[in-house]
Amino acid sequence: MEFSELIKKRLTTLNYTNKKVSNEDMNQIIESAIIAPSAKNRQPWRFYILTDKQKNYIADKMENWINNTGLVTTIKRSANLIRQVGNCVLIYSNKWSSDNIDRIKNPQKLLDGKDIENMVIMHDYYFDRIKADTLSVGAAVENMILKATELGIDTTWLCDVLFIDDVINEYLDLKDKELICGVAFGYRNQNPIRKGRYKKEYLIVGEENERKKLCR
């Protein structure tokens, strides 16, 4: 399938049959993820392919999640979807912690701006890393979703799992990892709706005048 056709074909599916994705297809999907680019080639992504029991446990906990933000409907819908769909994968990143604090040997020199090496480490680990690793995981997830689309498998990118990330991490005993999102993989029982997009003119917030000149 042509790339431009593939990216148009991909749509978020909200209703699934319970048909499973084959192991062979799941392997191809994971392999597509791990060839994604990543900041400093850190490859921060980790995958947890949920069993049916784990899927149902997470769906139960999401269904029972109650708050007063008005977001309950979304999480309930995602809970139903996780229960319905054949396969669900959770995508993790390395924990964003102060695990490298002990590499900062002399905090005073650092504060004085004289400890360049440690300033770089600080910047890398505390300021850039969260964004960079999350972007890397996003690249891997998009690869997975597009590969699935190519294989005729429907998908849903799920951040609603983050409402209960502590519960999930404790249940799966993955407390040293950061849950970024989930992805549902399966087969639709209803065609997804194609949603609208903003126009380019609204989205390009820089170089507007230059572009306008070029269009004239």
Give the binding site for ligand FMN (CB under 6 A): 11-12, 78, 156-160, 181, 192, 195
Q: What are phi and psi of 86, to 5 degrees?
A: -60, -45
Nearer to ligand FMN, 26 or 146 (CB): 146
Indicate the residue among 17 and 74 with the shorter CB distance to ligand FMN. Answer: 74
Give 12's strand partners.
Answer: 155
User: Backbone dihedral region of 41: left (phi > 0), alpha (psi from -120 to 50 degrees) or beta?
Assistant: left
CA distances from 124 to 40, 61, 98 (A): 10, 36, 12
Smallest distance, ligand FMN to C-beta of residue 160, A: 3
Q: How far is the CB of 149 from ligand FMN (least distance, A)?
A: 11
Closer residue to ligand FMN, CB minimum distance, 55 or 122: 55
Which residue lies nearer to ligand FMN by CB, 66 or 215? 66
User: From the CB of 198, what's the least distance to ligand FMN, in Å?
Assistant: 12
> Least distance in Å: CB of 45 to ligand FMN?
14
> Is residue 42 a contact partner of residue 133, using CB atoms and an 8 Å limit?
yes
Question: What are residue 95's DSSP bridge partners?
Answer: none
Three-state secondary structure call for residue 189: coil
Which residues touch 157 (CB under 8 Å, ≥6 apart)?
A: 12, 141, 145, 181, 182, 183
The answer to whether residues 141 and 91 touch, using CB atoms and an 8 Å cutoff, is yes
Q: Of the two residues 63 and 124, which places its CB atom closer to ligand FMN in the complex?
A: 63
* Shortest distance (Å) from residue 118 CB to ligand FMN: 34
